[in-house]
Amino acid sequence: MYCIKKITNDLTWVGANDRRLAMFEGVYSVPDGVSYNSYLLSDEKTVLFDTVDKAVQHLFLDNLTEALDGRPLDYLVVQHMEPDHSAAVTELAIRYPQMKIVCNAKTLALLNQFFDFGADSRAYIVKEGDTLNTGSHTLHFIMAPMVHWPEVMVTYDSTDKILFSADAFGSFGALNGAMFADEVDFAKDYLDEARRYYTNIVGKYGTQVQALLKKASAVPINMICPLHGFVWRKNIQDFVAKYALWSRYEPEEYGVMIAYASVYGNTGIAAEILSSQLRDKGIKTVMFDVSVTPASEIVSAAFKWSHLVFASTTYNAGIFVTMEALINDLVSHNIQNRTVALVENGSWAGTSGGLIREKLEKCKNIKILDDTLRIKSSLKASQLPEVTAMADALIATMPGKPLDSPSVPQEHLVDTKTMFKLSYGLFVLTAKEGDKDNGCIINTVSQVTDSPLRVSITVSKANYTHDMIVKTGEFNVSILTEGVPFSLFEQFGFQSGANTNKFSEDGDGVRSANGIRYVLEHTNGVISGRVVASHDCGTHTLFVADVVQVFSVSNEPSVTYRYYFDHIKPKPALPQGEKASGFVCTICGYVFEGDVLPDDYICPLCKHGAADFVKM
Ligand code: FEO
C-alpha cells in the first residue's frame, strides 16, 4: 500500500516517515520520529529528487510505483549522498534500467564509494548553473558544499519557483499527515525541533549556509521542499530569517541559558540561585542538567539564547564528563557571539572553570566574564553577593535589559517628554474577527524592510483591536492626513470597541482585499498587513507584518503627532474663573482630578500612561 501527497499538480511527495528510529545518525534522539522526503516531478520526463533511508525503503518504493502510474523513471537527481537519502539508489537502478542519475562529480565519486551498481554509465554530470529541461519545467542546479556534506547541491525549478533544498530548511519530527508548515502551528510545536536539527546537523557550517542563502535570495521562491520535515509555501521568509540568524551565530533572544553538571547537587543549587536572581531582575532563563538532558537539546538552546552559563564540578582533576562533552560539542559546532559566565566547584583542587574557559576561548567572539564563581564543595551565604554580581554582570551586557533593572541608571532618564520629539505619524488601525469590525488610533507604524516589504506596529494590550490582531494575524493601517478632524480621534480613540461599533453604517463597503475595513476619508494611503512575528513589550505588543496590499487614496500630506497637538487637538477647557487642579493627558486632553496621579495610571480614553500627563 502507498501513502503519497500532492505538492503541486505535477509534483508528488513519495517519501516516508520513521517513528521507530531511536537515534538519528546514531547520535541525536528523535522522540517525534523523522521524515525522509523524496519528490517525483511528472513532466514530459519523470524526475525523482533523492530517495530515502533503508529503514523506510519498502514504503518509498510502493509510493514511487503509485506516483509513476506505470511510467518509467527517467531521472534521479541525487542532491545529497548521505545514506538517509540515497539508500534506495541501487534498487532504483535495478528497477529502472534507463534511469539517468543527475549529480555532480563529487556525488559520483561517493556513489561509487558507497555502491557497486556501476554509477558511471548512468551519470548525467552537472555543475553550478547547469540546467535540465524536462518538458515544461527547467531545473537549475546550485552547488551547496558542506550543507551538510561536500557534494551537496540544491535544485531550483524556475517554472514553479520551487527550491529543492536538500538538508537545508529541514527539521526533525515525522510528518503526521500534514505536509506543509502552514498546516500546523510551526512556531509553537515544531520550531524547537527545526532549530535542534539545524544546529546539530549543519550548525558547524554557518559560512556555507550563508553562501547558499545568498544564492537563494537571487531567485523568487514560492516553495521550499527539503529532505526532512515540512514543505514551505507560506511565510517562507520567517524560516529563512531563522536560518540567517542561526548561520550568523546570532542569538534569537536575549536571556540566559544555564547548563550545570552537579554530582551531589551543590553546583546545581548555585545554578538555581543564579537563575532565580536573574528572573527576579526580569531576565528570561532556561536551565539544563547536562547529565540528564541530551547534548543536542542544549546545543540547540545555546544557539537560541544570547548568554550562556556553564556551572561544573571538578572531576578527575578536569571538567565533569557530561559537561566536557557538551563544551566539546559546542566548540565543534562553532558557537560564536555569546557572553559566557562560569561557575566552578572543586572541593580541594578546582579546575573545571579554567578548563572550560580555555576551550571556549578558541571560539569566535565569545566574551567570558572575568570573574568565575568559585565554590568549595557548597555555596555559602557569604558568597551570595558574588552570585548577584554575576547576574548583574550578565545583565549589563544585554542591550534589551529591562528598564527597571537595578543596573539601569535611572538618572539617565531625565526628560522622558523628549520622546515627543520623535516624528510619529497618526493612523487608524483596523481589524476584523468574524463579523466584528474594530479600529483604534496608533502612532507607531514603521517600514521595517522593503524586501520583503514589511512594517511594524506597536499596539497597547488595552485596545480591543490588539486582541483581534493576536487572534487573526491581520490588520489594515489607514494613514491619516492633516485634514483629519478631532471627531475621528474621538470615534476611534476615546471609546472601546469591545462594547461599541466604531464604524458608521455608511462605511460598510470600504474594505480591502483581506476583508478588513479601512478609513477612506482623511486618509491618503492604506496598508494591509499579515503578522509574521510579534514581541511582548509589557504593556504593548510589537507586531511585524508582511505588507500584503498597499494603495494610495489621496495626495494630502500625512498628519504628524506634532501637527495634531498644534492644530487638531482642542486645548483642555476649564470652567471660567476655576483654578486648574489635577492632571491633563497630553495625548487626548482627558483631565484627572486629584492631587496625586498614580504612577500606573492609564488614561481611560486614549490608554496612554501617567508619563503622558502633565500637572494643570
Ligand atoms: Fe539528511 Fe545530511 O542527511
State pLDDT tens for residues 229-276: 999 999 898 899 899 999 999 999 899 999 999 999 999 999 999 999
Q: How confident is the model at residue 407 (pLDDT cuts 50, 70, 90)?
A: very low
- At 187, the amino acid letter reads A
Of 132, 157, 129, nearest to 143 by C-alpha is 129
- Closest ligand 1 atom, residue 36 Cα: 1
Q: What is the pLDDT of residue 405?
A: 43
Expressed in angstroms and rounded, the spacing between residue 343 Cα and the centre of ligand 1 is 36
Higher pLDDT, 143 or 539: 143
Q: What percent of the chain has pLDDT over 70?
A: 92
**pLDDT tens sequence across 301-358:** 999 999 999 999 999 999 999 999 999 999 999 999 999 999 999 999 999 999 999 9
- At 417, the amino acid letter reads K
The DSSP-derived string for 148-178 is SSTT-EEEEETTTTEEEEETTT--SB---S-
Q: What is the pLDDT of residue 602?
A: 80
- Does ligand 1 have an atom closer than 6 angstroms to the CB of 168? no
Contact 78, 111 (CB under 8 A): yes
pLDDT-wise least confident of 42-46, 121-125, 367-371, 607-611: 607-611
- At 566, the amino acid letter reads D
DSSP alpha helices (H): ranges in 9-133?
Answer: 57-68, 83-86, 89-95, 105-114
Contact 357, 368 (CB under 8 A): yes
- Does ligand 1 have an atom closer than 6 angstroms to the CB of 466? no
CA–CA dist 524, 427 (Å, integer): 10
Q: How confident is the model at residue 403 (pLDDT cuts 50, 70, 90)?
A: very low
Contact 547, 454 (CB under 8 A): yes
Looking at ligand 1, which residue's alpha carbon is closest to its atom 3? 82
- Does ligand 1 have an atom closer than 6 angstroms to the CB of 167? yes
Expressed in angstroms and rounded, the spacing between residue 160 Cα and the centre of ligand 1 is 25
Expressed in angstroms and rounded, the spacing between residue 182 Cα and the centre of ligand 1 is 23
- Does ligand 1 have an atom closer than 6 angstroms to the CB of 148? yes
Q: How confident is the model at residue 572 (pLDDT cuts 50, 70, 90)?
A: low
In this structure, the strands spanning 453-460 and 39-42 are unpaired
Q: How confident is the model at residue 415 (pLDDT cuts 50, 70, 90)?
A: low
- Closest ligand 1 atom, residue 149 Cα: 2
Torsion of Cα atoms, 543 then 544 then 546 then 549, to 10°: 50
**What's the predicted TM-score (pTM) here?**
0.69
3-state helix vs strand vs coil in the chain, percent to 5: 30, 30, 40
In this structure, the strands spanning 338-345 and 305-315 are parallel
Expressed in angstroms and rounded, the spacing between residue 591 Cα and the centre of ligand 1 is 65
Beta strands in 172-277 (DSSP E): 223-226, 253-261
